[in-house]
């Protein structure tokens, strides 16, 4: 699967996609990359934060459990969780089948009008990280 160039990435294999604005704030959708879901294998459980939880870059916001291992998911931005993907409660394998679409994890409201993902990796830089690992 190609790495979509409409979003930004972390070197911990999360992606962040600006969804739009909510008043003066920006809403960012977060998920794990295709590389991450492939490395994990069949995902059997996803633990996500509660709506209203405050998150910060590099802080664990949940876990993805596969038949191979359990991996933390880290927030790429600072803000407040405004939505979690409830589909993953009953169908965690959605992260495997559609990591950049229906398999998203959380949405975070970020204060301020600047692009909260500007400091993250673009698709080419992320692919270089993956190629080097």
Q: Where are the domains of the chain?
A: 9-114
pLDDT per position as a tens digit, 19-69? 987 777 899 999 999 999 999 999 999 999 999 999 999 999 999 999 989
Q: What is the domain class of 9-114 according to CATH?
A: mainly beta
Q: What is the rounded distance in angstroms from the CA atom of residue 55 to the CA atom of residue 32?
A: 16
Identify the pLDDT of residue 113. Answer: 67
pLDDT per position as a tens digit, 82-97? 999 999 999 999 999 9
Assign 25 to helix, strand or coil. strand
- Among the residue ranges 11-15, 18-22, 62-66, 124-128, the one predicted with the least confidence is 18-22
Instruction: With beta carbons less than 8 A apart as the criterion, state whether 26 and 115 touch.
Output: yes
Identify the pLDDT of residue 1. Answer: 63
């Amino acid at each position: 699967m190609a790495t979509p160039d409409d979003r930004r990435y972390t070197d911990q294999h999360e992606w962040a996609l600006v969804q739009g604005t909510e008043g003066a704030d920006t809403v960012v959708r977060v998920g794990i990359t295709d590389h991450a879901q492939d490395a994990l294998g069949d995902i059997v459980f996803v633990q996500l934060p509660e709506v209203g939880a405050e998150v910060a870059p590099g802080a664990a916001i949940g876990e993805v459990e596969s038949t191979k291992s359990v991996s933390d998911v880290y927030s790429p931005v600072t803000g407040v969780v405004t939505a979690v993907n409830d589909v993953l409660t009953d169908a965690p394998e959605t992260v495997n089948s559609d990591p950049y679409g229906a398999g998203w994890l959380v949405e975070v409201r970020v204060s301020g009008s600047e692009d909260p993902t500007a400091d993250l990796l673009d698709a080419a830089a992320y692919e270089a990280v993956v190629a080097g690992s």
